[in-house]
Amino acid sequence: MNTGKRSINNRIHGNCRALFEQAKSDWTFEEIKYLMKCMAVENGYPSKTYKRELIGKEGTKYSRFYKVARSLSGQDDSVAMILNQTIQEFADANNFWLIEFDELENPYRTIGGRTKKEMIEYIDDLRKKGLIAFAQELEKSVNDD
């Protein structure tokens, strides 16, 4: 898997870092990354199935199966794309911003994969709807050239 400056691997780590910064929870950065992988399993991200033998109250034996997401290392770009898509969908569904780069390689915050121009229009719409604080937070990075 490609691991260069603008690689999918870097994007995944950066997007998970952005989610971690916005989550305002007790979850660690590593836990956020793992949760995204677990969610991506439903979209085809590789996992390993484990079987656990349990004994019920009356001594009845039964099995419980569960999936654990595999590590990203050693996977190809198509697997990384599944994870990245899951992260983007999660961010969009929860109004979290992610970092994108404009044509001059300047980073900016985006919601829903919008271009920098689209984000400026989106921020204007937020202001019109009275969501001033949210608009100001997004505007900080969009206009940082």
Which candidate, 102, 83, 105, 67, places its Cα nearest to that of 19?
83
Highest mean pLDDT among 16-20, 50-54, 72-76, 136-140: 16-20
What are the residue ranges spanned by the domains of the chain? 97-145
Report d(CA 51, CA 48) in Å as an integer. Answer: 10
| Model confidence pLDDT, tens digit, residues 103-137 | 888 888 888 778 888 888 988 888 898 888 878 87
Cα-based distances in Å from 133 to 73, 98, 129: 39, 18, 11
| Model confidence pLDDT, tens digit, residues 27-47 | 899 999 999 999 999 999 998
